[in-house]
Structure 1
Amino acid sequence: MEQSRSRTLEQELARALRTGPFSAVLHLAIEASGLTLEEVRARLVGQGAHVSLASLSYWRRGRSRPERAESLRVVHALEQVLDLPVDALISQLGPRRPRGRWLSRPLGTLDPTAAWNADTGLGELLDEVAPVHSGVARLAIHDLYLVGPDREEVLVSTRMVVRSHVDRVSRMPVMYRQYEPDGRPPPVVRAVRGCRFGRLRSDPDSGFLVGELVLDRVLGVGETAVVEWEATGVSQPGVDTDFYHRVFPAHVGEYLLQVQFSPEAFPARCCSYTRRTETAPDRSTQDVWVGTTGLAHVVALDVQPGLVGLRWEWG
């Protein structure tokens, strides 16, 4: 019985290698190997190819497919782990394509993994949820960052105006990163207006959270939407917060960042900065006035891919 099942699996795998799709080849190769998904992942990690169980499961079931460079490196390692011919899995992927109604990265944009200098974590989450370049242009983004009386982060509130440049767009990704996550739960996000949250995926090692923001209506080409949401738990609790910045993978027409300080916690100094990537040197810095109500802000127009933020010093 076992020999008959093994022979059948081998025949089905040989057929799938000729006809695809990728998910069928991966599923049958795992079945033929006799390994569990956890064992496959452990062997990949042993080869230095890090991938989440969720990603492997989604690839296997056809819910998503590997497209990013780090994911394709995992696929090459999978071929070795599953004793498949070289490029047997990679060849099933073909050229990068839009998934559903999402678009691959357009020219003149910045891969978010490069912007955050993140080797692992973020790319896998985007593969599971949605690519960042999602068929919409960000016309304007307004962030409000609240700082409490103990110098702690209270929440981040975001309002975004988007315009679709393809037909039938209904969702887009939202990204946050915790620094020094230390096993903390991921940020908590809440839709406020014009949207709701769908899938949420997080990586406890890198501190990334990627959420699927579902619009309250499907957009046609040229149509606009205004969405608002909030996040808490981005900064480390009990630690003085001293900066907030946003990464822009693509051009944005207008960006407004407001930092509202509690009356009990005014900073000694505040300045704005821009960078190409998170770890790159500052391109420009400028002192920013903190008003009598504790509000500081920076406005950027015609924002190119990169990063804009405010940081402050406590007295």
Structure 2
Amino acid sequence: MEPARSGALHRDLAHAVRMGPFSATLHLAIEASGLTLEQVRAELAARGALVSMATLSYWRRGLSRPERPESLVAVRSLEEVLGLSAGALSGQLGPRRPRGRSAVRRESGLDVVDAWGAHREYDDLLRGLDPAGRLELTRLSTLDRYSLGPDRREVALSTCQVVRAEADDLSRMTVLYRTYDPPSPAPVMTALHGCRVGRVRIAADSGFVAAELLFDRVLRRGDTTVVDYELTGLSPTPPTETDFYQRFFPYATAMYVLMVQFDPATVPARCVRYERRTEAAPDQGVREVWVGATGQAHVMATDVPPGVVGLRWDWGAGLNDAPSIRRADPPAP
């Protein structure tokens, strides 16, 4: 591993050990160790901790977390195998995950409400929506296409997701969008391909919009499907310039691509990509992104752990290191 990449990886790991979540810390610790998942499994077995490859993969990707007594013992062995201090992983697990309807608040070790602050509207939005697919769907890829007009204001956001069913009889998923400058009138969600829009909930004060996407067929375990939808009417009244876009991942995803389309006549002076463990955490992996001749900039990330991936830009000289947050788009349970 190159020294620069190794140094950045260990800095990210140190931050994850302090801030969590469990899945991100485990993922980074495995990367830093240089061990394959099979080698980690074998080392655990040598210590008497029998954990399957599938279970380790789910822990690493944030699709499940250790809760049974034997799993918690295995986590302590994991700390030893990966060269972590005692409690670096086990200390991030906290109390047993809540069950029932309240479980929709927590995803893969990240509490969505805590990440944004306490929003009663979030609970109100999801009340009555079917949370099926929260962990029963694996997000294989997500493509966001975010377009701005010549006035530097938002035009539309379209999202294409490829998902795989991990259980039988899945017919829908729920998506969540949040704007920090709530538009008036409310934004409109339109299904483009592979789905139709079901129930929609809007919390105007906090800027949350939640919607069901109904698949065009019922999925069985192992089936994949592609859903493509669009949000329009995003700009607030009065409209304001937009200087960033980010997506919050409460669970791991295999691949994420963000395409921002600027009007060719009005392109920013500079763009940078960034990542965060939570919305309030410091930026990591900051680097410049080229704006092409057609006005397009993009970010691509693979094996994305829970957290934030975004792109921000400066319309003039001097990029503000901490711009006022205007808009974010996360997937929901």
User: Above 0.5 in TM-score?
Assistant: yes
Flag the structure with more relative contact order, 1 or 2, with Cα contacts below 8 A and sequence separation at least 6. 2
1:302 aligns with 2:303: yes
Superposition CA RMSD, Å: 2.1
For 1:107 and 1:295, locate their aligned partners in 2 and report how far apart those are by CA, in whole Å: 32
**CA deviation after TM superposition for structure 1 residue 129, in Å:** 1.4
Identity %: 50
Match of 2:143 in 1: 142
Match of 2:195 in 1: 195
Q: How does 1:55-204 map to 2 (within 5 A)?
A: 96-97=99-100, 108-131=108-131, 133=134, 135-181=136-182, 184-204=184-204
Unaligned runs of 5+ in 1: 1-94
Q: How does 1:198-217 map to 2 (within 5 A)?
A: 198-217=198-217
> How big is each residue's C-alpha offset from its partner over 1:254-296, in whole Å with a ceiling of 9 and x where there is no partner?
0000101101210001000111222222122111111111110
CA contact (8 A) 2:105 2:113 kept: no
Unaligned runs of 5+ in 2: 1-97, 317-333
> How big is each residue's C-alpha offset from its partner over 1:19-62, in whole Å with a ceiling of 9 and x where there is no partner?
xxxxxxxxxxxxxxxxxxxxxxxxxxxxxxxxxxxxxxxxxxxx
CA contact (8 A) 1:109 1:251 kept: no
TM-score in terms of structure 2 length = 0.61
173-182 or 107-116, which moves further after superposition? Answer: 107-116
Number of residue equivalences: 217
CA contact (8 A) 1:170 1:219 kept: yes
For 2:205 and 2:107, locate their aligned partners in 1 and report how far apart those are by CA, in whole Å: 30
274-283 or 186-195, which moves further after superposition? Answer: 274-283
For 1:117 and 1:106, locate their aligned partners in 2 and report how far apart those are by CA, in whole Å: 13
CA contact (8 A) 1:120 1:206 kept: no
Match of 2:219 in 1: 219
**CA deviation after TM superposition for structure 1 residue 109, in Å:** 4.1
**CA deviation after TM superposition for structure 1 residue 124, in Å:** 2.2
Match of 1:241 in 2: 242
For 1:123 and 1:209, locate their aligned partners in 2 and report how far apart those are by CA, in whole Å: 12
CA contact (8 A) 2:107 2:251 kept: no
**CA deviation after TM superposition for structure 1 residue 98, in Å:** 6.7
**CA deviation after TM superposition for structure 1 residue 108, in Å:** 3.3
CA contact (8 A) 1:270 1:287 kept: yes
List structure 1 segments (4+ residues) > 6 angstroms apart after TM superposition.
Answer: none
For 1:159 and 1:150, locate their aligned partners in 2 and report how far apart those are by CA, in whole Å: 26
- Tell me which structure has the larger Cα radius of gyration: 1
